[in-house]
Amino acid sequence: MTETMFKPPSPDLSLNIAGVRFKNPVIAASGTFGCGTEYSSFFDVSLLGGICTNGLTLMPKTGNAGIRVLETPSGLLNSIGLENSGIPAFLEKDLPGLKNLGTVIIANLSGGSSDEYVDGAVLLNESPVDMIELNISCPNVKEGGMAFGLDPETAASLVMAVRRVCTNKPLMVKLSPNAPSVNAVALACVNAGADALSLVNTFKGMAIDIAGRKPVFENITAGLSGPAIKPISLRIIWELYDALKNSSLLVPIIGIGGISCTEDALEYLMAGACAVQIGSATFVNPHTMPDIIDGIKKYMIDLKLSNLKSISIRE
């Protein structure tokens, strides 16, 4: 018999999150992948498990003035401030192209007030997006964003209001690592109707321009991402898994924070995340995500793991 006849079956990288099928667990993180189409010249974007859109608000936003990104040792500070053209323009101009990319499209929803979130959710609920990621964790806007994600009660009342109108789409809530208790906010969100949790958004940080003798960013603080945050984010996810499990509220956890290679992604999948999102690493190497998909597949073949769940080391 020839060798090809003994080829082992290909491992199954697919997964299901709240009824949505992903072909693999690697998803582009919000705000770092443009509208998806920009990366088509680097690799076949349909290979991705999914794409989270830029932060979307009902009304257009011009974003923050001044310096918006600054490289730091092993990281990136950003203060974009949710620049976007508004949900109606997104639905008309960007979504048709995104839907043609052949991957799961997740709309990242933000707002300056509870009403703005709800009105945005109403439009997305009737659109062809596959899922909504409720961003209650952006540290770079003065109103809304992270202000909804630091306190369990405030977070729960927003999730409940959005859940009420979000009848057709799964709702994933994106959490802030800056909350005094991430676990308390997470549990409140699940109790309020979140189908899944994604975390973390960026850590609040800052930098000072010593020549100008002033903070670099107009808002003084900015959000830190990249490899510098990975050990902290990983620990947060490990602890969150326990908290959800012990409360019998285990929903899918999507791990985010400083993932730049296969080994990083595997750590998150072992710690209790069912999928990962990748942001800043794509700026350094646009091929990071397809490389990680190949790397996970190779790891599964080497260890003879037939499905993704068997990567986890959590009970």
Ligand X SMILES: Cc1cc2nc3c(=O)[nH]c(=O)nc-3n(C[C@H](O)[C@H](O)[C@H](O)COP(=O)(O)O)c2cc1C
Binding track over 14-53 against ligand X, x by CB under 6 A: ---------------xxxx---------------------
- Is 138 marked active-site? yes
Q: Select the residue interacting with ligand X from 138, 162, 186, 271 (CB under 6 A).
A: 138
Of the listed pieces 116-124, 155-163, 274-282, 304-312, which binds ligand X according to CB under 6 A?
274-282
Q: Which of residues 216-255 bind ligand X (CB under 6 A)?
A: 225-226, 229
Q: Residues with Cβ < 8 Å from 56, sequence gap 6 or more?
A: 84, 86, 87, 90, 107, 108, 109, 110, 120, 124
Applying CB under 6 A, among 26, 118, 124, 256 the residue interacting with ligand X is 256
Residue from the set 257, 268, 289, 293 that interacts with ligand X by CB under 6 A:
257
Task: Please identify the residue of the shown chain whose CB is closest to the bound ligand X.
Answer: 31
The burial of 34, by beta-carbon neighbours within 10 Å (0-12 exposed, 13-18 middle, 19 or more buried), is given as middle
Of 165-173, 213-221, 272-280, 303-311, the segment contacting ligand X by CB under 6 A is 272-280
Among residues 138, 166, 189, 274, which one is catalytic?
Answer: 138
Residue span binding ligand X (CB under 6 A) among the ranges 111-119, 160-168, 245-253, 275-283: 275-283
Which among 280, 278, 214 has a CA at the least distance from the CA of 49? 278
Tell the smallest beta-carbon distance from residue 142 to ligand X (Å): 15
The torsion region of residue 82 among left (phi > 0), alpha (psi -120 to 50) and beta comes to left
Q: Is residue 107 within the footprint of ligand X (CB under 6 A)?
A: no
**Residue 297 structure tokens:** 């597949």
Which residues, 6 or more positions from 100, have their beta carbon under 8 angstroms from its beta carbon? none
Residues in Cβ contact with 115 at an 8 Å cutoff, skipping those fewer than 6 apart:
none
Round to whole Å and give the CA distance between 255 and 278.
9
280 binds ligand X (CB under 6 A): yes
Report the nearest approach of ligand X to the CB of residue 86 (Å).
14
- Contact region for ligand X (CB under 6 A) — 34-42, 75-83, 115-123, 235-243? 75-83
* Binding letters toward ligand X, positions 174-213, x by CB under 6 A: x--------------------------xx-----------
Which one of residues 24, 78, 178, 183 is an interface residue with ligand X (CB under 6 A)? 78
Draw the binding track, 139-168, toward ligand X (x: CB under 6 A; -: no contact).
Answer: ------------------------------
Positions in the binding site for ligand X (CB under 6 A): 29-32, 54-55, 76, 78, 80, 82, 108, 135, 138, 174, 201-202, 225-226, 229, 256-259, 278-281
- The catalytic residues are 138
